[in-house]
Each structure stands twice: as C-alpha cells, then as structure tokens.
A = this chain, B = another copy of it.
Amino acid sequence: MTPSHCASQAQVNVWRSVGDVASFHPSSVVGKQDRRAVNGCTACEVRETSFCGALQKDELGALARIHKRSELQADASLFYEGDPADSIATVTSGLVRLVKLLADGRRQVLRFVAPGEYFGFNISETFGYSAESVIPSIVCQFPISGLERICGIYPDLQWRLFVLARQELDRQQEHIVLLGRNSIPERLAAFLLHWASIENGADASRRPLMLPMRRADVADYLGTTVETVARTLTHFRRQQLISLPSCNMVVFRDFDRLCALAQGENGTC
C-alpha cells in the first residue's frame, strides 16, 4: 500500500468512471497502464477474495456486463449520504471510508473498506452514509436490480451475497461492542490490531503498520476526538507498546500486551 502524506490532502469531490453499465465489456481495451481493465474481471486483483471468486465463466460474464468501475483520487466521494442506494460495491484497490454526518457536523466513520471487501448492502432506498476514498482507489459497483436478475439465473451467487451481508453484520456487531463497552485505549488497541491483521495478515506482529487515514478518521471511527487519539498513541509509545517512526506508521514493540489491552485487561493503561 502506498503511504499517504501527513498533510496536504485537499478535499476533492470528483470521480472518474471507467467503463459504465451499458458500454463496459470484459474484453474491451482501456489505457495501457491499467492492466486490470484489459482483461476485465478475469484479471481483477481481488478476484480470489471476492464473491466473484467462485464464479463460473458465464456468471462472471453476466456480472462483468452490469458492473461499473470507478477510479477515485484521494478524498473523492463515490456517492453521498442521501443518494439512491441502488448498487453494491467492492473496493479493488486503495481504501474507502463510509461516513455518516450528523446535522450539527458530528461525524461517524462507519467502516474502512479494504480491497476485496464489500459495501452498500443496506436496504434503505437511499444511502445513510457517503463513501469516500482515503487514498486513490478503484471501486467496482454492481446495480442491485442487475444482481437480482442474475441471482435468478445463478442461485448460489445469491447465497454468496447473503453470506457477505452476514459477514458485514458480524463486523458491525464488533463495532457496536467496541463503541458501547470499551475504553478509548482499548478501542484504539483493537483498531490497530484489526487493521494490522487486514494489512499484514499473519505477519501483523512483525511488520510495521501503515495507517493511510488521518487521525480525524480514526477518531470518528472510534467515537472520540483527534486529540484523544494522538494522546493515546503517545501513551502507547511511552509504555513501549508501539513506536511511531512517522505519524502514519506504527511499529509494534509489545504485540501481546497490546492484544491484552484490546481484550479489556487494564483498560485505562
């Protein structure tokens, strides 16, 4: 993953769509620097982890025909809160945050969507949140109407969608417990560990962790403030739990103790 810069992330709400619902076809050739588009879904880098992964050739073709691919620059919006919720999306590269804004400006980050993960399963007619790229990202959208039609033809595609929605329920449930019953240090520890396992998998404890999002994003994800996030990170550093070579890089110095903290042992540090 490309490390982002601490500063200078201008708010730009522009997105470019590459191929749309009508014209896109897996075999159509797009710009040379974008190998993914050349072979369409077949060469998609998250194909193994996606619901498309287990598809037969004809199913994949049907999906490819309805999908819409968007390239987002950093801090661009794919859609806004209130837009018609007519499609399910997956991130193929980059990182997307789902953000709910309250009337008085308070902000809740509902989720960071990593490559291979899905979002937009909500049932409401309009999205209850906006989807914004944290870093330059590529997103693939599938219209619900098209999915429903294809699901009629390929029943187990539908079951896979059901499974994805249910995975999302588990994720949200963890988030609820985190916000409802964990102290801020616990929340931050859990966040770092969760994020590390997504980024680095089994190597999470050894590899340095890049945090592409801003402090404000972390704070709004954890239900707290930038200041508290900064303070708690400093606290972790002083306790030798982590070190911070730069503000976007976390090196784990005592992974086990951080795990214990995330599990709720000595929640005040």
Given the interface pairs A102-B181, A102-B264, A158-B159, the reply to whether A172 lies near B170 with Cβ below 8 Å is no
Asked whether A100 lies within 8 Å of B169 as measured between CB atoms, the reply is no
Alpha-carbon separation in the docked complex, A174 to B176 (Å): 10
Given A106-B181, A176-B176 in contact, is the A124-B165 Cβ separation under 8 Å? no
B170 engages A122 (CB within 8 Å): yes
CA distance A180 to B181 in the complex (A): 11
- Pick the residue among B123, B124, B159, B166 that contacts A148 (CB under 8 A): B159
Instruction: State the CA gap A176–B163 with chains docked (Å).
Output: 21
Partner of A170, one of B123, B148, B159, B265: B123
Q: Is A121 an interface residue (CB 8 A)?
A: yes
Beta-carbon contacts under 8 Å, A142-165 to B: 148, 151-152, 155, 158-159, 161-163, 165
Contact call B159/A100, Cβ cutoff below 8 A: no
Binding site for B on A (CB under 8 A): 100, 102-104, 106-108, 110, 121-124, 128-129, 148, 151-152, 155, 158-159, 161-163, 165-170, 172-177, 179-181, 220-223, 263-265
